[in-house]
Amino acid sequence: MSSSPKIDDALREAIISQPDVILDDTDVMQALIAANEKAMGGNIVDLRGIAMERLESRLDRLEDTHRSVIAAAYENLAGTNQIHRAILRMMDPVEFEPFLRDLGGEVADILRVDAVKLVLESVQNDSDPAVQRLGDVLSVAEPGFIDGYLTQGRGGAPRQVTLRGVQDGAERIYGEKSDWIRSEACLKLDFGAGRLPGLLVLGAEDPHMFGPQQGTDLLTFFAGVFERTMRRWLS
């Protein structure tokens, strides 16, 4: 004659008074289901148990998706705040030279990039004293340079925002920092009818900072604000 072990009275009362504690514990529920299947024997297929396993698997996937969506939302919010702060700082200067110097200083710090360079196309050379003084941020290139740099000789119309990894940054763009740059964001600038285009380049030592798989909405907005600010200085 066999007898089943009796459950402790205190534990039994606790389970009866708080059954949700058992139902909410995944490990305990899985142990109970496994014990039930063992008691039924190997010749019985528990369709309800199979359905529960599938539901649990779907729930796990939904929870992972939920976490990913929340993480992406926080990341997007942080990126939005970062762009807004950079724009506000960019709008503070009331003179052109401080405006440009801030690009390589506080604006670069806010955007967490290692280099910011503004390239302007011009039929003139870069011997202008102002260009010489601002050489860390500003450079002048011949007409057609920007499209060639963006497309890298592949032809076609360049996008307004190009995100990519680079083996070494172009010395023409980054100067002494070129050996450190591993990714860049290139923002093509339209200064209006009758004016040659410009290019704002953000360079990073982190190879994963910018890549073609990333969204460009925030940088497109930033480029639009920068274009309008530059038109004011160029008018």
For 34-92, the DSSP string reads: HHHHHHH-TT---HHHHHHHHHHHHHHHHHHHHHHHHHHHHHHHHHHHHHHHHHHHHT-
Q: Are 168 and 178 in contact (CB under 8 A)?
A: yes
- Structural fold of domain 94-234: Beta-Lactamase (3.30.450)
pLDDT given at position 1: 44
pLDDT in tens, 45-98: 565 666 667 777 777 787 777 777 776 666 677 778 889 999 999 888 888 888
Question: By C-alpha distance, which of 143, 148, 198 is closest to 170?
Answer: 148
pLDDT in tens, 125-155: 656 666 667 768 888 889 999 999 999 877 7
pLDDT given at position 126: 57
pTM of whole model > 0.75? no
Cα–Cα separations (whole angstroms), residue 135 to 128, 174, 190: 11, 10, 22
DSSP conformational letter for 9: H
Separation CA 120–CA 2 (nearest Å) = 92
For all residues of the chain together, what is the average pLDDT?
Answer: 81
Domain ranges of the chain: 94-234
